A and B are shown apart, each in its own frame.
Chain A
Amino acid sequence: AQSVSQHNHHVILSEAASLELGCNYSYGGTVNLFWYVQYPGQHLQLLLKYFSGDPLVKGIKGFEAEFIKSKFSFNLRKPSVQWSDTAEYFCAVKGVNAGNMLTFGGGTRLMVKP
């Protein structure tokens, strides 16, 4: 079975600070990895995804994530956050040979202070 762990449940940053949200997964085979974001009052939106190739993936709004296979990690980064990045962030994994369901982490709630 696959599982996802997001270590930080709540993060508070000031504008212009750098962001890194941790995500570790557990699965023995090939994976597809995703970060979704949920802004207040809105639905889940895809930030970025990794299927194969370059392990450094760039997404929307200046976010990027790096897949480190040896560490089973897919951490999300942004060099300089804005107040509008206040949201909840979810990491998700799909084992390529484990069906088509996404397994989500518990989420990280980010608050950016203006």
Chain B
Amino acid sequence: DTGVSQNPRHKITKRGQNVTFRCDPISEHNRLYWYRQTLGQGPEFLTYFQNEAQLEKSRLLSDRFSAERPKGSFSTLEIQRTEQGDSAMYLCASSLLAPGSDTQYFGPGTRLTVL
């Protein structure tokens, strides 16, 4: 399967701890996105990379959140000093910049539970 992969699939942590998630996009895709989804809601955009450059960040992304894509391939999303309100599914998507077509393909997500 050469789709988007995310690790870990599940993470349980205590409030105040730091967590880091990884996303590996589809290999030729140059765009990578992070979204957050809470129960009963649609995904909400967090941030977006084109190659290694972080081009957009949502106001949802507080200063406790940081994302990187150091070599334009995989990406990490770190949450510092986790809070119970951070409990959610964190989704990664990737796409290929092409004229007239920019479709995002999603990974399975990392489910974060903050106790």
Residues of A with Cβ closer than 8 Å to B?
Answer: 4, 32, 34, 36, 42-46, 49, 51-52, 90, 92, 94, 99-107
Contacts and interface: CB of A to CB of B under 8 A. Distances in A.
Interface of B: 31, 33, 35, 40-45, 48, 50, 55-56, 58, 91, 100-109
Given A43-B108, A101-B45, A104-B44, A49 B103 contact: yes
B48 A101 contact: yes
Contact of A46 (B48, B102, B105): B105
A104 B43 contact: yes
A94 B35 CA distance: 14
B21 to A, nearest CB: 15
A2 to B, nearest CB: 10
Contact of B45 (A34, A43, A52, A103): A103
Given A44-B43, A99-B56, A51 B91 contact: no
Contacts of A102: 33, 35, 43, 45, 104
A106 B42 CA distance: 5
A36 B56 CA distance: 22
A21 to B, nearest CB: 13
Given A100-B50, A101-B58, A106-B41, 8 more contacts: A46-B103, A94-B102, A99-B56, A100-B48, A102-B45, A102-B104, A105-B42, A107-B42
